[in-house]
Chain A
Amino acid sequence: MVTENKPVLVLSGGQGEANRTDSFKWLLKTITALSRGSLSTECSLFLCETSLSAQCPKMPLSTHSQPGDEHYVLVATLDNVRNLSNILKAITFKDHAIFNATQNGLKVTVEDSKCLQANAFIQADIFQEFVIKEDSVGFQINLTVLLDCLTIFGGSTVPGVTTALRMCYSGYGFPLTLFLEEGGVVTVCKINTQEPEEPIDFDFCSTNVTNKVILQSDSLREAFSELDMTSEVLQITMSPSQPFFRLSTFGNSGNAHYDYPKDSDMMELFQCTKTQTNRYKMSLLKPSTKALALSCKVSVRTDSRGFLSLQYLVRNDDGQICFVEYFCSPDEEVDEE
């Protein structure tokens, strides 16, 4: 049972065909996960209970509705939890995230200092089962703890062996319950939720977009990895004429410019209506490189106020498409031209 202040780890032995070697391996992984800082600080919010399944060693978690599900307002199951955890890793630059689930799927939002917002969209059809009983279900949760739970079995090194997830939420005031299973070992995690904050509305609408380009992520990834980190800002210039699309840094040793011409192979779409130069704080954009690393394409848009929207197209393990989006406000010092 949950006790308010102490972490509780309950292990019950199973007498079935569960493989003991696997269970020891799992035990080591769990202890490692618990010893990591994020879990121990959240000990009052977290309970981990495991049982070695005696009945169904292969796949105890059923992807179909279980009896007793009626009180959940949200149930989502995935055969491969990495389809969720990988995307969430791309937006983990702050501890807390706002979850918002609708009929369409799950949207996870992370914000930083009111200047940066990252959203991850996982559509309903990515999940093997996605049941939502209300129009919109929202809560705030510690993203670091959630990720640690989702990856509690560690990285799956054996091909074909995946960790299954069943995520259940009973509604306002209830914790988020995660059932994770791998190789016959089941872990139940209950993470406390908080009152959801309203995410910032950057008021970025397509009608206001002045410049838009879509690039293949490979080339941008290289540029971002070479960016001079001593520069405080990243300047993005987009123009219908030379230099078309330019990333500039102003560091200690001098400045650097990365130019992408509009007819480059890497440029999938080029729609620039007017010349715009905007600067964004490098520290704000740095987390976006995680999303860039996962993605295959990225769309860069700026609107008339100089706000930046980066949209990343991410393919998960099963080839399905998810989106990650970053909104960033321009650095106030420079007025847009």
Chain B
Amino acid sequence: MKCAIEGSNVKAFGKAVHALSRIGEDLWLDPLEKGLALRAVNSAHSAYACFLFSPLFFQLYSLHPGTQSPGTPIKCKLAMKSVLPLFRCLATIERNVDRCEISISTEESRVICQFYCRHGITKTHNLSYQESEALQAVFPTNLCPNVLKAQAKLLGDIVRHFPASQEEITLAVSPVRVILKNYYEEESDRAKVMYTEMSLHPDEFDYFQVGVDSHITFCLKELRGLLSFAESHSLPVRVHFGSSGKPVSFSLDDMPLTATVVLATLDEDASAPPSQTAPSQIGPVHRCVGAPSVPTSPRGTLECGGGEKEPEEENLHVAPQGGPVPGEERVLSSQASPVFSPALYLRKLLELPKPPPAAIVTAPGAARSSHTQHGGRGGVCLAPPHGTSPDACTDYADRAHGDRACLCHVQDGRQLYASHPSYCQGSRAPVWCPVRAEPRCQSVGVTQPGMCQRH
């Protein structure tokens, strides 16, 4: 792959790298027919971002430059700390850089990034990369009941009111009102926390569609990168979301580039009636952790899925690359590998036997604490697809789970957990894992059975 970026687009590219650096520690480069995709995911797999630069963005964009034999263009992963310094000072880039050329050289196993600057100065950076599967998250936005579209300036003004250290915020929508407030955990000292709540009228949005009253809590820090990118280009941002527990997607669209950030949201009590979660209430409602959560309301689970076909009965393993799994939803991805679809598992969930009763923690304080440990984030699995055998997974060096376990270490909130009971460090009673059909130690396990368990 070889591409060239001219003039002010170099700064835009740099800004995209900055936004992605706020999400994860690695940058995935995926050259596609439709453009160059830059992706990042955070370690907890609760945030994913993708910036897709169409060929129009580039002065020159070639998947198979002259000498390279046609074949699949190489996909690679770079450490963010090697890439970010190249674009660190955007003001200097704007002033000095005339042109930037990026190419992937398989012979030397290097990504070559060349800056042609003023006064004839050339800066060449040869970065080592790791070959990797492409990273992709599935999130069919067309099926989300709630859609908002707002100018970047509006969103920027909103988040400015929250302190820079604010980790999570809650967005609550109803047909008449949109409320944003900061999310706090009740354990924290009430005297030290500043509560901020903003209420907006639907008219302030360019587009407002609320199918389902909901309030979702997501991480603001990871979003700031995209918002600052949008503000610098004065682009409107579209927000697609559903009920709590389902991911929220922020996307923007400028002719030559599209950017998407998908964040997992905190899973509130799925069985709580809508009236209890009215936007006027301060603080989200937490559920007791011990209780196994099976989504009872039929609305949530199936909407987010996309496939009309029935999923294959027994085999929940993601098939190895190459062969399509019949009945499984496929999302167009460059290497034609199956991409994980959460809907598949959610549907499967309803057919499984009822899990055995688990210890129920009744004290709200205790529930809260375990809730925060686990995070309870539901949503889409964002890890790259991998084969059935642990050895097939090349992405994660961390084999702490053991050879039987899922290697993508899908994480709940920010807590790394093992999927095998023997790795449990705590003393909580196990919950039934419906996917693996075996007990799962809960202190290091999943609180929401719908959580992706990739095996």
Flag if B127 contacts A253 (CB, 8 Å): yes
Does A219 have its Cβ within 8 Å of any Cβ on chain B?
yes
Q: How far is the CB of B424 from chain A (nearest CB, A)?
A: 36
The answer, among B88, B110, B119, B127, for a CB contact under 8 Å with A219, is B119
Given the complex, which residues of A lie within 8 Å of B85, measured CB to CB?
226, 228
Q: Mark A216-232, 1 if CB is under 8 A from B, else 0.
A: 00010011001010000
Does B120 have its Cβ within 8 Å of any Cβ on chain A?
yes
Tell me the total A-B contact number using a CB cutoff of 8 A. Answer: 54
The answer, among B81, B96, B126, B128, for a CB contact under 8 Å with A256, is B126
Q: Mark A253-272, 1 if CB is under 8 A from B, else 0.
A: 11111111101111000000
Find the residue from B79, B85, B118 having the highest chain A CB count within 10 A: B85
Does B68 have its Cβ within 8 Å of any Cβ on chain A?
no
Given A254-B126, A256-B124, verify A265-B119 contact (CB < 8 Å): yes
Q: Mark B127-139, 1 if CB is under 8 A from A, else 0.
A: 1100000000000
Q: How far is the CB of B286 from chain A (nearest CB, A)?
A: 43
Q: How far is the CB of A293 from chain B (nearest CB, A)?
A: 15
**76-117 of chain A: CB within 8 A of chain B:** none
Tell me, in angstroms, the Cα distance from A226 to B89 when the chains sit together.
Answer: 9
Flag if A266 contacts B119 (CB, 8 Å): yes
Given A228-B85, A260-B121, A266-B119, verify A255-B96 contact (CB < 8 Å): no
The answer, among A228, A255, A256, A266, for a CB contact under 8 Å with B121, is A266
Tell me, in angstroms, the Cα distance from A260 to B123 when the chains sit together.
Answer: 9
Flag if B79 contacts A264 (CB, 8 Å): no
Tell me, in angstroms, the Cα distance from A266 to B122 when the chains sit together.
Answer: 13
Flag if B121 contacts A253 (CB, 8 Å): no
Does B281 have its Cβ within 8 Å of any Cβ on chain A?
no
Chain A residue nearest to B128 (CB atoms) is A254
Given A222-B96, A226-B85, A228-B85, verify A256-B120 contact (CB < 8 Å): no
Q: Mark B351-377, 1 if CB is under 8 A from A, else 0.
A: 000000000000000000000000000
Q: Mark B406-418, 1 if CB is under 8 A from A, else 0.
A: 0000000000000
Given the complex, which residues of A lie within 8 Å of B124, measured CB to CB?
256-257, 259
Flag if B127 contacts A265 (CB, 8 Å): no
Given A222-B92, A226-B85, A228-B85, verify A254-B121 contact (CB < 8 Å): no
Q: Mark A235-268, 1 if CB is under 8 A from B, else 0.
A: 0000000000000000011111111110111100
Given A222-B96, A253-B127, A254-B110, verify A259-B121 contact (CB < 8 Å): yes
Tell me, in angstroms, the Cα distance from A255 to B111 when the chains sit together.
Answer: 11
Flag if A264 contacts B121 (CB, 8 Å): yes
Given the complex, which residues of B lie within 8 Å of A228, measured CB to CB?
85
Flag if B123 contacts A253 (CB, 8 Å): no
Given the complex, which residues of B lie within 8 Å of A264, measured CB to CB?
119-121
Does B125 have its Cβ within 8 Å of any Cβ on chain A?
yes
Tell me, in angstroms, the Cα distance from A54 to B124 when the chains sit together.
Answer: 64
Does B54 have its Cβ within 8 Å of any Cβ on chain A?
no
Tell me, in angstroms, the Cα distance from A228 to B86 when the chains sit together.
Answer: 10
Tell me, in angstroms, the Cα distance from A265 to B85 when the chains sit together.
Answer: 26
Flag if B119 contacts A253 (CB, 8 Å): no
Chain B residue nearest to A266 (CB atoms) is B119
Tell me, in angstroms, the Cα distance from A191 to B7 when the chains sit together.
Answer: 56
Q: How far is the CB of B122 from chain A (nearest CB, A)?
A: 4
Chain A residue nearest to B118 (CB atoms) is A265
Q: How far is the CB of A245 from chain B (nearest CB, A)?
A: 10
Given the complex, which residues of A lie within 8 Å of B119, measured CB to CB?
219, 264-266
Tell me, in angstroms, the Cα distance from A331 to B365 when the chains sit together.
Answer: 63
Find the residue from B82, B85, B121, B122 having the highest chain A CB count within 10 A: B121
Tell me, in angstroms, the Cα distance from A337 to B81 when the chains sit together.
Answer: 33
The answer, among A223, A253, A257, A260, for a CB contact under 8 Å with B79, is A253
Flag if A254 contacts B82 (CB, 8 Å): yes
**274-327 of chain B: CB within 8 A of chain A:** none
Q: How far is the CB of A165 from chain B (nearest CB, A)?
A: 37
Flag if A261 contacts B125 (CB, 8 Å): no
Q: List 8 A-B contacts (CB under 8 A).
A: A219-B121, A222-B96, A226-B123, A253-B81, A259-B121, A260-B120, A261-B120, A261-B121
Q: Which A residues form the contact surface with B (CB < 8 A)?
A: 219, 222-223, 226, 228, 252-261, 263-266
* Closest 5 A/B residue pairs (Cβ): A253-B82, A264-B120, A254-B127, A259-B122, A257-B124
